[in-house]
Structure 1
Amino acid sequence: MDKTVPELAEELDINKLRIYRYIKKQNIKPVRTDKNVQYFDETASDAILRRFKDVSGSHGSNDTESDTTSDTAENALIELKDSIISRQDKEIEQLYRQVENLQRTIDQQNKQFDQQQQLELESIRTFKKNMMIDTEYHPDTESDIHDTSNDTKSDTNDTRGDTKKGGLFAWLRRHRD
């Protein structure tokens, strides 16, 4: 279970500032920080506890015991650093997978965008082709359009000499006969 510095200080019955100094000196990183409270995992907590238990118990010991204590502390730090490195490697791997997934998504979107552009271009070509075919089968289309626009703008004279209002329906009636 993750522990905070005040919890460790209470357990060891020492001032928490000593623990903060040790953490800073050894560059021990917390597992998480929540509302400015740092939480340390079991490995880090055990290393801190061993360090201060060894220091408090080694005041009257000889040199061989202090060497063993320093070896134990070094081993604990090595374990702590290894666990931190392992955790960071896992994070890097996870981020790498996320980047790969995002790259695949981008590639798919680019492919879809390219397909969309090709479809639009083909639609435009087909439309132009159909317009050309339509004008080939109906060569008087442009003149009909022109005549219609003229009929709608002005009055026309009937074959009998009467003036009639123009318009599309009047034009159709005249040309139907």
Structure 2
Amino acid sequence: MTDVTNQASAFPKISAPALRALNGAGYHTLVDLTKVSEADLAKLHGMGPKALGILRNALATQGLAFAGTQANHKGAYAGVNGIRLYYQFHGQPLSQDVPLVMLHGGFSRIEMMHELIDALGGERTIIGVDLQGHGRTADIDRPIRYTFCADDIGGLIQHLGLTQVDLLGYSFGGG
């Protein structure tokens, strides 16, 4: 078994589960992370959004970045229910089709859904969302509950002027 405490100095201070996930996958330095996409790292057990943010910032201060960043999406924020909710458009331009709103699982972000987004993106408009306290959507002074997240998504749909959407959520996002 790898002694992660001896390798901790190769990364900024992140949680022990995130460090074990990185080391277990063969990533031991920030330079190693330039060979893997952030979406792939997000799939590692123990790798949460806080650790990804710390690593993203550490890479940026060194003039580095994760590999394979998605170039086919446009991200924005919607002010709904006292929160700045981050969302991205993928796939087909917003037109006459019914868009698919995708919601990630708990302790993750929309990048965890990129394989499915990539598979469906050529067929329809997809709107990926980072829920409260996840990814690029900050936490606010309220509990993270299904009902609040549902209200936030309803607010986003209104903000975008949509009358109908399909919803797909994984784990917490499906609640």
Q: TM-score range by the shorter chain?
A: under 0.3
Larger Rg: 1
Q: Which has the higher helix share?
A: 1
Q: Which of structures 1 and 2 has the larger relative contact order (alpha carbons within 8 angstroms, sep 6+)?
A: 2
TM-score using structure 2 length: 0.20
TM-score using structure 1 length: 0.20
Q: Which has the higher strand share?
A: 2
